Structure formats: structure tokens, C-alpha cells
Chain A
């Protein structure tokens, strides 16, 4: 147990002694702030200007296409921001291969499973921290924009804070998926290219394509991005849903994400982590 806790502390020290974490955190904040703030202002403007202002303070589902605005604006923290904890996790593992730091790491802690578990726990916590950063942008700037246009930001609503909690959990799980993917594809360049291509291009297309038929939509629910949105409970991506297959429950979405993380990590452990370090 002490070995594990020491290993976790060492993994924290690894992350916070290089510049990557705050560079990613700053980009995450600015990116989400821009989207949530911008879209928040735009949609709130449309809503207050075009549609009856009576409906906006209800906090329930609005009588228009977007439903209630705040949950959707706040969900950008994870629905767009999830790639940041994934990258942090991927870089945390592939960096060890790339810089050959597996040698000093395994000399200090010869139990490799302990090291990988410690890395996962650490990244889940730091990924959750990224969730807080993303939410600071989406709730802070997005909510600010909503309020500025006279839409209730629902900051006193318990549903909002439950969503915040589920977002933090989702971001932690995404970082664990990053760790798992990094051991599955230890080549750093390949890993980053695949992550960016999949999250920014392949998965959105798959989700769109899957949504047209009821049966494929049900399969599409198990794509990691859909599962994450189900866990969080709101997303712009689930608005356009022609076939109308019900999304997973929040806890099911969470289990699906966890499943991806566990499967990738276990297979990665076998194919790269426990192999010869030469």
C-alpha cells in the first residue's frame, strides 16, 4: 500500500514538474470559454429576442428547439473539452516510452502493475481537475453570457450542480481512457494522431450516421462520446437525434466510459507495459 501511495505521489510530481499540464489547462479554458461564452450569448440573445421572454426563467424544458439553455452551455466543458484530459493521459504514458523514463520508473517501483494503477488514479484526479477548469469556463463565462442576456443561469438549481459533478467524473474517466490508449498505442505521435482524428472527426461522423436508424442509434449510444454525454446528461450533440433512440442513463454512460478505460488499460498492459524495456 505504501508503495502504491508513493507511486501516486511520484506520478503527481511527474505531471506538475513539466509545463504540459498548465498549457493544456489554459487552452482548455480559453477554448471552452470561447464556445460557451459565444454560443451562450448568441443563443440567449436569440431566445430573449425572438421567443416569448416568459419561458426563460422556468429552468425546465423550454418550448423551443434547444430545451433549457444552461445545461447545454455548461456541457461544453465535457462534450468539447474531453479531448484535453485524453491528451494529458495519452502523453503521461507515451511520454514514458518516448523519453525512456520507464527505466528509472521501473527501477524505483519494480511492480509495473502498481505503477500503471498509480498513473491511472493520478490522471483520474488531474482529469477531474481539468473538469473543474472546463466548468469554470463553461459555467463562469457561459453562465455569465446567459445572465447578461437575461436568461436564468440556474446557478441555484441542484440539477445544475449534479451536472457539474457528473461532468467532473466524466473528465476524470476520459483521462483514464487516455492512459489506457497510451499503453495500447505507445508511439506518441501515432497515439496523438489517432486520438485527434477519432475525437474530432471519426466519432462525430459515426454518431451522426448512427442516429438515423433506431437500431444503429442504440449501438451509437455506446460510442465513448455518446456515453460521456449520457453521463453528463446534456449535450448539443444529442439535440439532433432524428431516430429518437433514448440515450443511456447517466450511470450507464459512466460504466461504458469506465469499461473503455479498463479494457484499453488491461490490453495495453499486456502489449506494451509489461514488455522488455531495452
Chain B
């Protein structure tokens, strides 16, 4: 079983002319876990991953796998499997031949080609020219390329784009399985909701800079200050809250009380003899925390 290496970004910066695409980015990615690399469009995700893979030269900083730069890996495809967002195929080549070319270049057995095509569900289309592939099929072929060397590290840039619901379900399970086998899995997305079912850790960047790092649960801020409470007899409930000095407003699903303690409201209602129909704390969604972190994500 291939084992994962630690991915380490150390003070990576990249400028494209005047654009600072990535700025002093440092973080590590551990094996045995799925790490989501998140940020809005143009945040610098693809640029960072291409630097990691030696395709783009950083202006400064280093990125390594277990301390080794990609270009210095003795068997790169057998160590790191990467699928980047751009479709990188010659349209006139069949899927089988496309993968065959790189299996030869990396010294991998030709039998791997059909194995990975089967793994991603493209076995029936192996002999078809890639020019005729749909977006989802290209995405799967990109993934097949990443799996060619049965690598311990997977680096996937927006792998969910263009997949159908069945494909999305499959890839989520696939990412979990890969991590469970001890591999390092780094997967980028501009949508937290797209990956939140599969990731253990998140690395969030915005405008090329790190804004948050930690387990997924660290986004689940418990500090929401409001509790939603409702009753068939709203007037009586409102009176009880007012009597206890709790400020509230009337929301769509009930009264929005300015307290983070539902038990307190339950006790108040009980002692006032008011029947409750709704009582729960208003949670800030993960996506809300994400949007708050990346701030103003819709203006590039």
C-alpha cells in the first residue's frame, strides 16, 4: 500500500507581472486525511498547486513532498498523482493511448492504463478519441491520469467540476477511501459545500493569502448569539421573554431571541406555562463562516 507524504508549502509567493497571485503562503497537509484547499475564484489555488507540482516557478518559497521538491522525486507519478483543472489532452488520441504515453514516460506497466480507466468508469470508452469526450468524462480521464502510478499523494484541482450527481457521490467516497488507506489527499474547490462531506481539514485562502487553517469543525462557530423559539401562543411567549429582559425580534420561523442558551428559554416558557413549538439555537452554517472568512468573494 503506498503511503502518503507530508505536503509542505513554505512561504510561497508568486507574482504574474503586477498581480500577486500568491503571497507568503505556508501550510502543511497531512497523510491519512482529506484536506480541502478552498478559496473564491482567482484566490490562487491553481497557481499554488502548479507551483507545488513544479509547473510554475514561485517568485520565492518552496513546496515539497516529504521534504523533496516535485522535480527531484525519483518516481514522480508513483509518488504524486495530480489532476489539474485544464483539460490537457490531444483530441485525436484515444483515452487508452493518452494514458499509455505517460505510462511509458514514467516507466509504469501498461496494464495500469486499463486498471485506472476501469476505476474511474471509463473502460467502455477506452478506445474512443478524447476529442469526443464530455466535460465529465474528461474530468474522469484527468483523475485516471492521477491514479496511473498508484501514488501515495493525490493533488486534485476542482475534481468535482462537471461531474454528474452519481459521479459526485462516487468521488466523495473515493476521496475518503484514499485517505483511509493512509494517502495524502489535497483537493481544491471554490465551494465549501462541494467538499464539506469529504474533507477532514480545510486550508482557506483569499487573494493569495492564507485566511484559515484547521479541521473542518473549526469553521463551525458555536458563538451564534441567537436562538429561535416559537409557540402556538406567541403573545404569551413574547410577554414571558420581555418579563425576563430578553430582547427578541419576530422572524419568519418564530421569535429570534438574543441569547445563545436555549435551556434558559425553555425554563422561562415552562415556568410561564407557555407551550413551545420550536426551540433551537440558530447555527451559523459552515458556508457562512467560509464566506465571512474570504470576505467579499464576489468582487474579483
Bound CA span A20–B46, Å: 32
Interface: A49 (CB within 8 A): no
Interface: A106 (CB within 8 A): yes
Cβ A109 vs Cβ B105 within 8 A: yes
* Chain B contacts for A107, CB-based, 8 A: 53, 55, 76-77, 82, 102
* Chain A contacts for B145, CB-based, 8 A: 104
Q: Taking the nearest CB of chain A, how far is it from the CB of B250, in angstroms?
A: 53
Interface stretch, picked from A8-16, A55-63, A134-142, A264-272, is A8-16
* Chain A contacts for B290, CB-based, 8 A: none
Bound CA span A9–B105, Å: 7
Cβ A17 vs Cβ B94 within 8 A: yes
Cβ B71 vs Cβ A99 within 8 A: no
In chain B, residues 31-76, which have Cβ atoms closer than 8 Å to a Cβ of chain A? Answer: 46-47, 50, 53-57, 70-71, 73, 76
Nearest residue (CB) in A for B142 is: A104
Bound CA span A14–B89, Å: 11
Cβ A108 vs Cβ B55 within 8 A: no
Cβ B54 vs Cβ A106 within 8 A: yes
Contact of B70 among A2, A95, A100, A110 (CB under 8 A): A110
Interface: B104 (CB within 8 A): yes
Asked if A103 meets B94 with Cβ closer than 8 Å, knowing A13-B104, A277-B56, A278-B47, the reply is no
Interface: B90 (CB within 8 A): yes
Number of residues on chain A facing chain B (CB within 8 A): 28
Bound CA span A244–B105, Å: 51
Asked if A108 meets B106 with Cβ closer than 8 Å, knowing A276-B57, A277-B56, the reply is yes
Interface: B263 (CB within 8 A): no
Bound CA span A104–B89, Å: 9
Cβ A278 vs Cβ B56 within 8 A: yes
Asked if A276 meets B56 with Cβ closer than 8 Å, knowing A95-B90, A111-B71, the reply is yes
Interface: B88 (CB within 8 A): yes
Cβ B87 vs Cβ A100 within 8 A: yes
Asked if A277 meets B105 with Cβ closer than 8 Å, knowing A99-B89, A110-B71, the reply is no
Interface: A7 (CB within 8 A): yes
Asked if A103 meets B92 with Cβ closer than 8 Å, knowing A7-B105, A109-B105, the reply is no
Interface: A252 (CB within 8 A): no
* Chain A contacts for B97, CB-based, 8 A: 13, 17
DSSP class of A's interface residues: helix, strand, loop or mixed? helix
In chain B, residues 85-125, which have Cβ atoms closer than 8 Å to a Cβ of chain A? Answer: 86-94, 97-98, 100-102, 104-107
Bound CA span A108–B54, Å: 11
Cβ B107 vs Cβ A100 within 8 A: no
Contact of B50 among A105, A111, A277 (CB under 8 A): A277
Q: Taking the nearest CB of chain A, how far is it from the CB of B158, in angstroms?
A: 14
* Chain B contacts for A109, CB-based, 8 A: 76, 105-106
Bound CA span A277–B76, Å: 17
Cβ B101 vs Cβ A100 within 8 A: no
Interface: B84 (CB within 8 A): yes
* Chain B contacts for A106, CB-based, 8 A: 54-55
Q: Taking the nearest CB of chain B, how far is it from the CB of A121, in angstroms?
A: 14
Bound CA span A216–B55, Å: 46
Contact of A99 among B88, B100, B101 (CB under 8 A): B88
Interface: A18 (CB within 8 A): yes
Cβ A2 vs Cβ B107 within 8 A: yes
Bound CA span A161–B252, Å: 93
Cβ B107 vs Cβ A99 within 8 A: no
Type the 1/0 row for A235-278, where 1 means its CB is closer than 8 Å to any CB of B.
00000000000000000000000000000000000000000111
Nearest residue (CB) in B for A96 is: B90
* Chain B contacts for A276, CB-based, 8 A: 50, 55-57
Type the 1/0 row for A28-48, where 1 means its CB is closer than 8 Å to any CB of B.
000000000000000000000
Bound CA span A276–B22, Å: 14
Nearest residue (CB) in B for A9 is: B104
**Interface positions of B (Cβ within 8 A of A):** 46-47, 50, 53-57, 70-71, 73, 76-77, 82, 84, 86-94, 97-98, 100-102, 104-107, 145
Instruction: List the 5 shortest-distance A-B pairs measured between CB atoms, nearest first.
Output: A10-B105, A110-B71, A17-B97, A108-B105, A277-B55
Apart from A6-B106, A13-B100, A17-B93, list 9 A-B contacts with CB within 8 A: A6-B105, A7-B105, A10-B104, A10-B105, A100-B88, A108-B105, A109-B76, A111-B71, A277-B50
